[in-house]
Amino acid sequence: MPSSLSSKSSGEAKAEKVPVNDANENGARVSHQPAELIVDDDDAMLAARVGHKSEFAREFKSFSTISYAFAIMGLVSSVATTFNSPFTLGGPAATVWTWFIGSCFNMTLGLSIAELVSAYPSAGGLYSASGLLVPRNQRAFVAWLTGWLNFTGQIAGIAGTEYGLSQMIFAWAYVITNGRFVATTGATVGLYIGLLALHGVINCLGIKTLARLTSSYVIVNLGITFIIIIVVLAKTPLDQMHSASYTFTEINNASGWSSNGLAFLFGLYCVQFVMTDYDATAHISEEVSRAAIAAPVAIVVAVAGTGAVGWVLNIAMVLVSGDVAEQDISTWPGGLAFAQILYSRAGKVGFLVIWPFVCSVAFFVVTTALQANARSFYAFSRDNALPDKGFFARVNKRTGTTVNAVWLVVIPCMALGCLAFASYTAVTAIFALAALGMDSSYLVPIVARWIYWDHPDVQFQPGPFFLGRGLLGKSINLIAVCWTMFECIILAIPTVQPITQFNFNYSWVIMAGVLVIATVWFVAYAHRHYQGPRSTLSPEQQEKLGVISHDEEAVHHH
């Protein structure tokens, strides 16, 4: 399995024919290439040099890839579902400034991830990269734990967004019935499960269909955000807008904690949930044209755009919030402060027209997130990490999608949503778990690269998107690591006092449980068959393609 590669320009790409085996060692079909694999472009050569056959059609072009990166964050819908945390726990200043602060620091994390994605554009994302950035004797265990951290975060991200979508749909029903219909927890969970099933079906469609859907939604995602900003500002009389002092300096500590600073930092729930899953674009990189450039650029553009537009959105919503903060949460549509502010300013008709578009953004966030997570499990199965004999690494012949892996993701998401029966505070733990799982998994390859850069088993070679090995690159990576550790600590703290079994923050408990179970599983069983990210090429194919292996004793799988 190669641990490094160098990017080639388009003019240097050469066509090569290499015999391709059709099945893995367990007999599971993992590729639908013809008898000979023709490597005639940079993407196919890049995938081969990372150790994988190109098994997907590369239907995602530059625009659809950027749109995908924007879609995975789902700015307006994700803010709508998590706006309660900063707005009710810390007040106006927390809502505005935690977004700004979080966005700036998250850009360093996005840049750090982008350069790794450029070097390792694989469906495994940073899970695969983590296994290639450590010495051979550590490769399996490091990749194993990184993978499970990332998968846990991705599943929580899907669950949190889908549950938020269920709330938003019922918020619309609440308004159209003039408050007569109030959804129960059972109804919300039931809708949540139904939506997950629908998203599972959608993700079984062909790659070309998914790429076309992705291209269209960057327009809806950003368009509806600007429409909301314009509408609420235009419909609010100047004398009803809050002052700049209130908007930017007022802290209302409603958390129960004595520290205003801690209540302020709880506002990070919103920005950290929205701006995560950066490596989702990497998970579809085997479906992206010119992935080593398009994928990292899409990540950076999406983080910068989401941060800037999101800050304006938060400022606008606080400015026009009126007395919403003093109202009973039970009177808000769907229990969402964002929905109440929009309703109070746009009116009933305006809300009923605009809100379905916000819901559609959330719907598409789940579509893209599920696609990315399914590709992650596909890569995990391809690497022989699951006791499934390659079942979840199969690519459907007709659609070209990982149908089996899609449903492997849907089922645990359904189970996670049942936390809602404990309390709504337990649901917010899902939002925290998404950021905790994914962001902590990003630390592993970032740190490992600097520790083992020149190690004989690693010898890291950057892709075309590279921050450099000097002060700039080191500073950005260091800030990203320190910030991620800090925000993960904040997100693990219970948001309200006094702490009870109903409002306890279970996010870190779930993550710790996953790590313990994963470690025991690896030591007791998985280490026997899992050797880390593996090559799907034969030794002969690797030799012909110039794959550089630092593990001459490794067993190469056909």
pLDDT tens figures, 273-330: 899 877 777 766 666 677 888 889 889 999 999 999 999 999 999 999 999 988 888 8
More confident residue, 157 or 285: 157
Torsion angle defined by CA atoms of residues 121, 124, 129 and 131, in that order, rounded to the nearest 10 degrees = -150
Q: What is the pLDDT of residues 452-461, one digit of tens each?
A: 999 998 888 8
**Cis peptide leading into residue 498 (ω within 30°):** yes
**Residue 427 in this model has a pLDDT that exceeds 90:** no
Given this model, what pLDDT does residue 429 score? Answer: 79
Ranking 118-132, 244-258, 337-351 by mean pLDDT, the lowest is 118-132
Dist CA 54 CA 478 (whole Å): 34
Which pLDDT does position 71 carry in this prediction? Answer: 77
Does a structural domain hold residue 48? Answer: no
Asked if pLDDT for residue 4 goes beyond 90, the answer is no
- For residue 138, with 0-12 CB atoms within 10 Å meaning exposed, 13-18 middle and 19 or more buried, which class applies? middle
The 8-class DSSP code of residue 497 comes to S
Domain count, the chain: 1
pLDDT at 251: 94
Looking at residue 386, its pLDDT comes to 86
Lowest mean pLDDT of 207-216, 246-255, 442-451, name the range.
Answer: 207-216
Mean pLDDT of the chain: 82
231 or 60: which leads in pLDDT: 231
**Residue 127 or 406, more confident:** 406
**Structural domain containing residue 99:** 53-450+461-534
The predicted pLDDT at position 67 comes to 76
Distance between the two ends of the chain, CA-based, in angstroms?
12
DSSP string, 143-205: HHHHHHHHHHHHHHHHHHHHHHHHHHHHHHHHHHTTT-----HHHHHHHHHHHHHHHHHHTTS
pLDDT attached to residue 400: 77
Q: What is the pLDDT of residue 428?
A: 75
Q: How much of the chain, in percent, has pLDDT values that exceed 70?
A: 81
Dist CA 379 CA 27 (whole Å): 17
What pLDDT score was predicted for residue 61?
A: 57
pLDDT of 211 higher than 90:
no
Mean pLDDT for the stretch of residues 240-253: 95
What's the pLDDT at 333? 93
Which of these ranges, 79-88, 173-182, 486-495, 502-511, has the smallest mean pLDDT?
502-511
Q: Is the pTM of this model over 0.85?
A: no
Give the residue-averaged pLDDT of 26-32: 36
> Which DSSP helix (H) or strand (E) runs through 38?
strand 36-39
* pLDDT of amino acid 545: 39
Instruction: Find the mean pLDDT for residues 381-408.
Output: 86
5, part of any domain: no
pLDDT of residue 384: 87
- Of residues 535 and 506, the one with the higher pLDDT is 506
**Which burial class, exposed, middle or buried, applies to 41 when counting CB atoms under 10 A from its CB (0-12, 13-18, 19+)?**
middle
* Cα–Cα distance for residue pair 1/192, rounded to 1 Å: 41
pLDDT over 60 (residue 507)? yes
Task: Inform me whether the pLDDT recorded for 126 exceeds 60.
Answer: yes
Q: Is residue 230 part of a domain?
A: yes
Q: Within a domain: residue 19?
A: no
Indicate which CATH number applies to the domain containing 242: 1.20.1740.10
Is the pLDDT at 156 greater than 70, yes or no? yes
Neighbours of 447 (CB within 10 A): 17
Answer yes or no: is 557 within a domain. Answer: no
Decide: helix, strand or coil at residue 558: coil
pLDDT band at 404 (very low <50, low <70, confident <90, very high): very high
**Which whole number is the average pLDDT over 98-118?**
95
Check: CB of residue 165 under 8 Å from CB of residue 362.
yes
**With contact defined as beta carbons under 8 Å apart, do 394 and 29 qualify?**
yes
Q: Between 352 and 38, whose confidence is greater?
A: 352
Q: Which two tokens stand for residue 434?
A: 């998404």
- 180's tokens: 């007569």
In a domain, 9, yes or no: no
Per the domain annotation, does 527 fall within a domain? yes
Write down the pLDDT at residue 149. 92
The rounded Cα 163 to chain-centroid distance in angstroms is 16
**Separation of alpha carbons 431 and 156, rounded Å:** 7
Closest CA to 419 of 192, 87, 174: 192
- No. of helices (H) and no. of strands (E), the chain: 20, 2
The pLDDT of residue 345: 96
How far apart, in whole angstroms, are the C-alpha atoms of residue 298 and residue 232? 30
In a domain, 2, yes or no: no
Q: In the prediction, which pLDDT does 418 show?
A: 84
The 10s digit of each residue's pLDDT in 45-101 is 454 445 445 554 445 556 767 777 887 888 999 999 999 999 999 999 999 999 999
Residue whose structure tokens are 């696609």: 371
